Amino acid sequence: MKVNIQAVNFNVDRKLLDFTNSRLEKLEKFYEKVISIDVFFKVENTSDKENKQVDIKLAIPGEDLVVKKVGKSFEEGVDTATDSLERLLIRKKEKSRD
């Protein structure tokens, strides 16, 4: 599994990279055939406190799963996005068994 992490208009610190990689590695437990994962971190120019956007594109054979989450911190966005991807991968795996 190949992981690409990109930040738009800022530099990502090592702590966020490590946290993101550890959460993404857990996705392989739910679906073994993950080809690659692209993660995009963006800060939106709004007055809201929830201006951190996390986009995760997960490539599996036959399709791509895309999840976009906005939160107060990038860690919160990564957590909610990976939780959503876990549910999608479990559903995908169950469909392939039927």
Tens of pLDDT along 55-78?
999 999 888 999 999 999 999 999
Q: Return the SS3 of 53.
A: strand
Mind listing the pLDDT tens digit for each residue in 8-42? 888 889 999 999 999 999 988 888 888 999 999 99
Total of domains in the chain: 1
- Burial-class residue 74 by CB neighbours within 10 Å (0-12, 13-18, 19+): buried
* pTM score of the predicted model: 0.89
Residues of the domain holding 21: 2-97
Tokens (6 digits) for 38: 């692209």
**What are 74-95's pLDDT values in tens digits?**
999 999 999 999 999 999 888 8
Residue 12 near residue 5, CB atoms below 8 Å: yes
Q: How far apart are CA 25 and CA 1, in angstroms?
A: 9
- The Cα 24–Cα 32 span in angstroms is 12
Q: What is the pLDDT of residue 4?
A: 93
